[in-house]
């Protein structure tokens, strides 16, 4: 058993690795110039070039993958020559980067050709003073200095040559003199819990992803709680009445429900309950982060849509397994020895028939994620699916990667749990 778990975990890690590289290359190959999407089609080539430099997109792809995976402050520390540390910003909750100069946290900025040093105080504010730094002289006679700027980049300033950079502000691009020549956007890397900044929103992915994951887990969890009992009951009824009209009815209805795409089901439910009857809200508009907890009715139609699609599938599985068990010799023996029919069904058949559906449901989680994307798109539900959709369309590498990692982990973990549950339910199976 332990060997099986270890092998599964190793396989999971390899899987995650392959998936992340594949995604990285795909997005690299196809998304074109991401700065056009961030800055808009009317941005000038200089603005785009400057912004590419600020995002570190000029680095080769393997280096950016390593940055994404394990971070890059080790690379920046070699340039700066000081330890780089993160401190949480008390206002935004985001990590900020500082250089550690003899126990004081410091950043720098170039103002009118003079380097200013900004020391961090206990309360989070900074005190500016002229910096007493030694400019390094390279072979061309240029005096340069690597430091940390106020936007969490390790940057290279060149004395007397403040570059003109385009800075993205809320009001658009602004041209600034005194800019650095080279940037390394600091990050810790995914393995240390930093998935980077969303290119679309400019906020750390790690902070924005979790509320979405929570919303989706609530949606999928409620759907699961609705689907399971219904599916098992209908599946068992169909299974013990094999070939009778009630079985035909349940089988055909569940086949229809499974084969109908989620968006068709969702649209029909919106038309019936949202437009004609006006019983339920037709879209899930979140007026506050906890809107689903305050108004559970928002969940009604999304859950119904997911249920309709999943229900049919699980019913079919349960029915098939029930039919098989009901035809087995030990059930015949139990009936022949005079046991009441219902006790045979409940005590002997159901317990054995439930093994297959439980594992298959676990394997089905992948399919469920696809359904969740569509359901969230229909109802405007702010969950993981919509997050992936928006990020993939934008070409937001960091957000897509992080969200895909979450979904892959969920899919693989449920598969392993399914396998383990099977060994507990079915003592005949042993993993060597």
List residues near other proteins by CB under 8 A.
Answer: 11, 14-15, 18-19, 22-23, 26-27, 29-31, 255-256, 258-264, 267-268, 270-271, 275, 366-367, 369-370, 373-374, 377, 385, 388-389, 392-395, 400, 403-404, 407-408, 411-412, 415
Nearest-approach distance from CB 361 to other proteins, in angstroms: 16
* CA–CA separation, 154 and 78 (whole Å): 11
* CA–CA separation, 413 and 56 (whole Å): 34
Q: Residue 119 or 377: which CB sits closer to other proteins?
A: 377
Nearest-approach distance from CB 19 to other proteins, in angstroms: 5
Q: Residue 15 or 423: which CB sits closer to other proteins?
A: 15
Nearest-approach distance from CB 420 to other proteins, in angstroms: 17
* CA–CA separation, 34 and 27 (whole Å): 10
Q: Residue 184 or 373: which CB sits closer to other proteins?
A: 373
Nearest-approach distance from CB 274 to other proteins, in angstroms: 9
β-partners of residue 173 are: 168
Q: Residue 115 or 406: which CB sits closer to other proteins?
A: 406
* CA–CA separation, 168 and 179 (whole Å): 13
Nearest-approach distance from CB 16 to other proteins, in angstroms: 8
* CA–CA separation, 214 and 13 (whole Å): 24
Nearest-approach distance from CB 264 to other proteins, in angstroms: 4
* CA–CA separation, 317 and 232 (whole Å): 9
Q: Residue 329 or 427: which CB sits closer to other proteins?
A: 329
* Residues 397, 400, 401, 402, Cα dihedral to 10°: 120
Q: Residue 228 or 377: which CB sits closer to other proteins?
A: 377
Nearest-approach distance from CB 220 to other proteins, in angstroms: 13
Angle at 54 between CA 50 and CA 60, to 5 degrees: 100
* CA–CA separation, 152 and 99 (whole Å): 10
Residue 404 in contact with residue 23, Cβ under 8 Å?
Answer: yes
* CA–CA separation, 219 and 310 (whole Å): 13
Q: Residue 126 or 366: which CB sits closer to other proteins?
A: 366
Cβ partners under 8 Å of residue 310, min gap 6: 223, 227, 231, 364, 368, 371
């Amino acid at each position: 058993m332990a060997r099986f778990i270890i092998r599964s975990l190793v396989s999971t890690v390899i899987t995650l690795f392959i998936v992340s590289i594949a995604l990285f290359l795909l997005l690299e190959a196809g998304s074109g110039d991401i700065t056009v999407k961030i800055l808009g089609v009317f941005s000038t080539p200089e603005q785009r070039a400057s912004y590419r430099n600020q995002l570190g997109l000029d680095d080769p792809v393997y280096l950016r993958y390593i940055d994404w995976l394990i971070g890059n402050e080790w690379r920046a520390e070699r340039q700066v020559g000081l330890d780089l540390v993160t401190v949480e910003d008390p206002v935004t909750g985001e990590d900020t980067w500082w250089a550690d100069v003899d126990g004081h946290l410091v950043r720098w900025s170039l103002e009118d050709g003079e380097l200013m040093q900004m020391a961090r105080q206990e309360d989070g504010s900074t005190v500016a003073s002229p910096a007493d730094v030694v400019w390094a002289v390279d072979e061309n006679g240029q005096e340069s200095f690597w430091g940390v700027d106020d936007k969490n980049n390790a940057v290279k300033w060149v004395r007397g040559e403040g570059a003109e950079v385009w800075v993205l502000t809320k009001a658009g691009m602004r041209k600034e003199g005194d800019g650095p020549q080279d940037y390394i956007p600091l990050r810790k890397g995914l393995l240390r819990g930093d998935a980077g900044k969303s290119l679309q929103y400019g906020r750390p992915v790690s902070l924005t992803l979790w509320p979405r994951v929570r919303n989706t887990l609530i949606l999928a969890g409620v759907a699961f709680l609705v689907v399971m009992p219904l599916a098992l009951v209908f599946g068992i009824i169909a299974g013990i009445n094999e070939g009778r009209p009630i079985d035909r009815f349940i089988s055909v209805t569940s086949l229809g429900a499974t084969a109908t795409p989620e968006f068709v089901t969702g649209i029909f439910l919106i038309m019936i309950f949202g437009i004609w009857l006006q019983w339920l809200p037709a879209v899930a508009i979140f007026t506050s982060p906890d809107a689903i907890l305050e108004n559970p009715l928002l969940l009604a139609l999304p859950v119904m849509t997911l249920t309709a699609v999943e229900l049919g599938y699980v019913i079919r599985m349960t029915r098939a397994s029930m039919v098989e068990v009901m035809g087995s010799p030990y059930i015949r023996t139990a009936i022949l020895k005079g046991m009441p029919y219902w006790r045979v069904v409940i005590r002997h058949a159901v317990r054995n028939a439930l093994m297959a559906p439980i594992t298959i449901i676990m394997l089905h989680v992948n399919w469920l994620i696809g359904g969740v994307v569509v359901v969230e798109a229909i109802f405007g539900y702010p969950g993981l699916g919509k997050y992936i959709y928006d990020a993939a369309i934008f070409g937001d590498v960091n957000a897509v990667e992080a969200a895909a990692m979450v979904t892959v982990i969920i899919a693989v973990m449920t598969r392993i749990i399914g396998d383990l549950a099977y060994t507990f339910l079915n003592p005949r199976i042993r993993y060597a």
